[in-house]
């Protein structure tokens, strides 16, 4: 890499770290470093920085890249794509569909747990914190990583989608035998860049109450994931 370019990339990442105290696991910094020097990412940094300074933004800045920090690139086995962080107080903490301990389960998460119970016969967890999944190699990635309080979709089309597309592209190209769980039309459209000849793709309706009865319930994503992982000689996820 050209020394000047490398120095600039490091500087841009240092700006991100400085204003939000963010953490990103080292392997991901290497995988996505080329994005840091692109104009869209520089514009995104300025936009997000301004938003955190002037608005109430979720998740907290230091939780922005929790998905990447909890699940190193080399340990990813499963990817669950979400759309936006939760926009209510205390809900978002950087993992798609997940909420911190002690926070009531949002409607989509309630339905995810209902399907988990039906699919695998497991008790519905008291906590909606899915870090236990992330630590086993389940990348819980939202397409957009920030949102204004009470304003769903408010940070869409600001550059996050380009960044998360790059993440999905790198996973598809550089890894094999991953499971991609795509719930709903939005995730399925975003997942169109995944190579189906290398990876196992599970598609169904979204777990939202508006669509869960149209194909999410009964879709068995958890048992299908584990059956595939087992067939590939990989450890199953302890859901």
Quote helix, strand, coil % in the chain, to nearest 5. 45, 10, 40
SS3 55: coil
How far, in Å, CA of 230 to CA of 50, rounded?
A: 46
Question: Any idea what DSSP says for residue 147?
Answer: E
Task: Report angle CA 166, 172, 175 to the nearest 5 degrees.
Answer: 120
How far, in Å, CA of 17 to CA of 218, rounded?
A: 42
Residue 111 near residue 212, CB atoms below 8 Å: yes
Residue 27 near residue 54, CB atoms below 8 Å: no
Backbone angles phi, psi at 226, to 5 degrees: -65, -35
SS3 121: coil
Inter-CA distances, 185 with 21, 141, 204, Å: 34, 16, 9
Of 30, 64, 26, nearest to 48 (Cα)? Answer: 64
- Catalytic member of 2, 34, 84, 101: 84
Known catalytic residue at 37: no
Residue 35 near residue 166, CB atoms below 8 Å: yes
Backbone angles phi, psi at 57, to 5 degrees: -120, 140
Which active-site residues does the annotation give?
84
């Amino acid at each position: 890499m050209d020394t000047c370019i490398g120095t600039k990339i490091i500087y841009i990442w240092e700006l991100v770290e400085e204003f939000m105290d963010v953490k990103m696991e080292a392997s991901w910094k290497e995988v996505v470093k080329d994005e840091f020097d692109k104009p869209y990412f520089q514009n995104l940094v300025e936009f997000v920085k301004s938003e955190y300074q002037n608005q109430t933004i979720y998740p907290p800045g230091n939780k922005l890249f929790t998905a990447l920090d909890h699940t190193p690139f080399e340990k990813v086995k499963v990817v669950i794509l979400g759309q936006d962080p939760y926009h209510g107080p205390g809900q978002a903490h950087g993992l798609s569909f997940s909420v911190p301990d002690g926070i009531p389960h949002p409607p989509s998460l309630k339905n995810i747990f209902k399907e988990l119970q039906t699919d695998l016969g497991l008790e519905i967890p008291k906590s909606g914190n899915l870090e236990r999944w992330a630590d086993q190699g389940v990348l819980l990635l939202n397409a957009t990583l920030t949102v204004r309080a009470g304003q769903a979709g408010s940070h869409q089309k600001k550059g996050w989608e380009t960044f998360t597309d790059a993440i999905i592209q790198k996973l598809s190209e550089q890894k094999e035998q991953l499971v991609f769980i795509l719930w709903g039309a939005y995730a399925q459209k975003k997942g169109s860049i995944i190579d189906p000849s290398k990876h196992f793709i599970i598609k169904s309706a979204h777990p939202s109450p508006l669509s869960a009865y149209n194909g999410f319930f009964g879709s068995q994503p958890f048992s299908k994931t584990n059956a595939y992982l087992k067939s590939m000689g990989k450890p199953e996820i302890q859901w």
